[in-house]
Amino acid sequence: DVVLTQTPPTLSATIGQSVSISCRSSQSLLHSNGNTYLHWLLQRPGQSPQLLIYSVSRLESGVPNRFSGSGSGTDFTLKISGVEAEDLGVYYCVQGTHAPNTFGAGTKLELK
């Protein structure tokens, strides 16, 4: 199975600070059809996960543009340009290129 390694496991930030989360895959996530199915989710405390970024860099409808995704192959990054209080929670990367789907262990974003 594909292993997704997220770093750091915990991230402390102040409001307005820019932060990045890394997601590294044990295999390339480039599908034979040319797409890369690496997505980013946010789970706020007590809530269900929600999609932020899909296919590496595409912003889900309604998600603020302070969120951005980048990367290719096995190395991916989620960046938040100016953290806001509503961004606190656990961020997960998930891959849909290879069966079975796998999730990263999560990165908890908390206030410093």
Partner 1 sequence: EVQLVESGGGLVQPGRSLKLSCAASGFTFSNYYMAWVRQAPKKGLEWVATISTSGSRTYYPDSVKGRFTISRDNAKSSLYLQMNSLKSEDTATYYCASHPLFDYWGQGVMVTVSS
Residues 7-36, interacting with partner 1 (CB under 8 A): none
Residue 16 vs 100, nearer CB to partner 1: 100
SS3 label, residue 98: coil
User: In 3D, which of 26, 21, 22, 20 has the Cα closest to residue 102?
Assistant: 26
Q: What whole-number distance in Å separates Cα of residue 78 and Cα of residue 40?
A: 8
Minimum distance, C-beta of residue 25 to partner 1, in the bound complex (Å)? 15
Q: What whole-number distance in Å separates Cα of residue 38 and Cα of residue 33?
A: 14
Residues 40-79, interacting with partner 1 (CB under 8 A): 41, 43, 48-51, 54-55, 60
Q: Which residues bind partner 1 (CB under 8 A)?
A: 1, 37, 39, 41, 43, 48-51, 54-55, 60, 90, 92, 94, 96, 99-106
